[in-house]
Amino acid sequence: MTLPPYALVLGLRIESDTDADGPPVLVMPFSEDVLGRPGFVHGGALGGLLEMAAIAALQQALAEEGGGRIKPINVTVDFMRGGREKETRAVGIVTRLGTRVANVEAVAWQDDRIKPIASARMNYLIVRPG
């Protein structure tokens, strides 16, 4: 998969040892470009990372069914912990892929995957070809 220009502004890359069968894990390095208040990752950058992880998971799931266009309907982000000056990882989980709508979740963490710093729920409109 190819990441859009905005993902490059966040400095995102796909984790190289991502499980080939599972959804891709995205990595966002810490930099001045994602800095919010001093010492912490900006909440908007975390939201953007979660959205990218959700879209990546959804694109992968959709590709197995012949592809389609994805349009965001909404996203709700919950912030659990401040993101510190280190790498942040995120992965999306497609909870339901319907004919017209998909429900997707995403979670972001730093040191420990079971201690998320932020999570999100998204609804997407799916436009399938033909």
Partner 1 sequence: MPDLPFPFDPARLFAHAGGHSGRLGIGYRAHGPDWAELALPYRAELVGDVETGVLASGPILSMMDMATSMAIWLKLGGLRPQATLDLRIDYLRPATPGKTVIGRGECYRITRAIAFIRGQAHDGDPDDPLAHVSGTYMFLEAQP
| Chain centroid, CA 59 distance in Å | 11
Q: Which is nearer to partner 1, 17 or 79 (CB)?
A: 79
Q: What is the DSSP letter of 52?
A: H
Q: What is the DSSP letter of 43?
A: H
Q: What is the DSSP letter of 23?
A: P
Rounded to a whole number of angstroms, the minimum distance from the CB of residue 31 to partner 1 is 9
User: Footprint of partner 1 on this chain (CB under 8 A)?
Assistant: 4-10, 32-36, 42-45, 47-49, 51-52, 71-79, 82
* 125 bridge partner residues: 71, 101
Rounded to a whole number of angstroms, the minimum distance from the CB of residue 103 to partner 1 is 15
Q: Which is nearer to partner 1, 16 or 129 (CB)?
A: 129
Q: Which is nearer to partner 1, 8 or 63 (CB)?
A: 8
Rounded to a whole number of angstroms, the minimum distance from the CB of residue 2 to partner 1 is 9
> What distances in angstroms separate CA 93 from CA 31, 104, 119, 130, one per listed residue?
26, 6, 11, 26
